[in-house]
Structure 1
Amino acid sequence: MRIAVFQARTGIDPAANAATLLDAAGKARAGGADMLFTPEMSGLLDRDRKRAAVHLSDESGDPVLAAVRRAAAEHGIWVHLGSLALTGGDGGRLVNRGFVIDDKGAIRTRYDKIHLFDVDLPTGESWRESAAYAPGERSVIAVTPWAKIGLSICYDMRFPDLYRALSNAGAEILAVPAAFTVPTGKAHWHVLLRARAIEAGAFVIAAAQSGEHEDGRATYGHSLVVDPWGDVLLDMGEAEGVGFADLDMARVADVRARVPALKHRRAIGAVEVDA
């Protein structure tokens, strides 16, 4: 399986962002990729919620989703559209939703981000994702011609139980699109993604946002592809663009045979705390 990873610097204009995604799809197919992976919030990245609100719609009316579906069909390429901000969440909130789109432009599956980023960082950055977004309630695997792909988004990577559930259900690739902050990226991005790959004996594909964005935020970049042994096959640094990696899916079975941790997993009961 040959994959393409799009490292983006998404801005506040969905039409401009859609154009970059269409260009990435063309470059991915020209480079021989079977599937393109894009970052979290590929359609719009704007922390000014009042300004962003005029561009938001539900899934049926989102122009970026429609454009990517057309591009997938035009180029004959599968696309994991990392996520979009869409209306329709509980309590009038948004959803942070990813899509797997096939080479005919059909949506094969959807995933709503389960774990929401509510933190105060030492740098003074404060994020309250739950104020605007409703959390997802289900874990999801997309079945493709090459592999089963377990879906997640950004902050999800800090919760290994999700990836345990996905790998127990047969996931051979874990997709982790992200818009990671710079301080947390420097500290944790590589080590967490390599750990998720090693624990699951699976490939990890993490398409990321990178650089200084129009809304004033900065993201870490370093889109990664990690193999089941934990080796980094691709690190895109900080530059925007499309990168490529070739995945030997036989590597999953090989690593899982060498270290059969998945077979040794046991359900953990209640923890006893001795006084």
Structure 2
Amino acid sequence: MSDRPVHTTPFRVAALQMVSTPERERNLDDAERLIAQAAADGAGLVLLPEYFCFMGHKDADKLTVREPYGDGPIQRFLAESARRHGVWVIGGTLPLTVTDPHDCARVLNTTLVFDPSGQNRARYDKIHLFNFEKGAESFDEARTIRPGSEVCTFDAPFGRVGLSVCYDLRFPELYRRMGDCALIVVPSAFTYTTGRAHWEMLLRARAVENQCYVLAAAQGGTHENGRRTWGHSMLIDPWGEILAVRDEGPGVVAGDIDLARIDEVRRSLPAWRHRVLA
């Protein structure tokens, strides 16, 4: 059981599902519409999917929309959306410029968090880079993405939030390093093949083993570049129950973070307290 006080008022959160395109401005317009919808429904925190701002025809296309940390149209959009709607916005991922001049052919795949005043409160650079070969499907993120190295959490009104991205989901040691979280977020662009096989079981496992909520915002559909993503954005409670899910297509998945539910689960099955290995 946590020492956190039990809040009597649940905090509403939302995951946005998108089918992003090679046109940045069209993606930002779509994201704005979904953020507004989630905020109107009472969400105080909104999570965008990985690559919400851009999915090019080739992996290297993302270099054309990369931004230096601290400024750029995508970062301004996220800050302004958070301020306009008075919500926390977790900006899925966007491509940030690598400062190392010897690594200019890659970007950082970065999650940025903005508070309701539009201030940047946290940054996480994706650590684990996806590599997959099966038939005609071939992915190697390391060709165009430089990995991050730092675990990142931030404090939201309801408690600690742990940041992760897509392929990170397969590495449970990352989540243990986050400490006692009320919520873990997983913006993603899982392929249809790997998503159908493993997406739900991995998300539910992370919720059960960390006895916290998991919010996953996914790309979900057939994209203009020919790629098909799995979708199934969802919110999962600390017992592993799926509270809300959207299979495919753009939309909003929403539900409540209830700290009393976390404490109830941890009292009845105190696995968090029984941890022995760091």
Pick the TM interval, shorter chain.
over 0.9
Measure how far apart 1:47 and its partner are.
Answer: 4.6
Instruction: Confirm or deny that 1:115 pairs with 2:125.
Output: no
Question: In structure 2, the residue corresponding to 1:114 is in which secondary structure?
Answer: coil
Letter of the 1:126 counterpart: S
Match of 1:96 in 2: 109
C-alpha contact (below 8 Å) 1:2/1:244 kept by paired residues: yes
Match of 2:174 in 1: 162
CA distance in 1, matches of 2:129, 2:60: 20
Q: Distance in 1 between matches of 2:114 and 2:42?
A: 17
Gaps of 5+ in 1: 269-275
Residue 152 (structure 1) aligned with residue 169 (structure 2): no
Q: Please name the residue that 2:229 is paired with.
A: 219
Query: What letter matches 1:152 in structure 2?
Result: S
Whether 2:136 is the aligned partner of 1:124: answer yes
RMSD over aligned CA atoms reads 1.4
Give how far 1:118 is off.
1.5
Structure with more contact order per residue of length (Cα contacts < 8 Å, sep ≥ 6): 2
Counterparts of 1:95 and 1:47, CA distance in 2: 19
The answer to whether the 8 Å contact 2:63/2:95 transfers is no
Deviation at 1:50, TM superposition (A): 4.8
- TM-score normalised to structure 1 length: 0.92
| Alpha carbons 2:131, 2:139 under 8 Å: kept | yes
Q: CA deviation at 1:89?
A: 5.6
Contact 1:2 1:245 in 2 (8 A): yes
**What is the alpha-carbon distance in structure 2 between the residues aligned to residue 62 and residue 217 of structure 1?**
27
Moved more, 41-50 or 9-18: 41-50
| Aligned match of 1:5 | 15
Q: In 1, Cα distance between the equivalents of 2:274 and 2:136?
A: 43
Identity of aligned residues (%): 38
Q: Which amino acid aligns with 2:124?
A: Y
Task: Determine helix, strand or coil for the equivalent of 1:257.
Answer: helix
Please tell me whether the aligned partners of residues 15 and 64 of structure 1 are also in contact (alpha carbons under 8 angstroms). Answer: no
Q: Distance in 1 between matches of 2:198 and 2:91?
A: 24
Alignment partner, residue 271 of structure 1: none
TM-score of the aligned structures, taking structure 2 as reference length = 0.91
- Among 194, 214, 220, which residue is 2:204 paired with? 194
2:218 is the alignment partner of 1:208: yes
Aligned to 2:195: 185
Contact map agreement 1:2 1:33 (CA 8 A) in 2: yes
Give the match's secondary structure for 1:97: strand
* Structure 2 stretches lacking a partner, 5+ long: 1-10
2:246 pairs with 1:242:
no
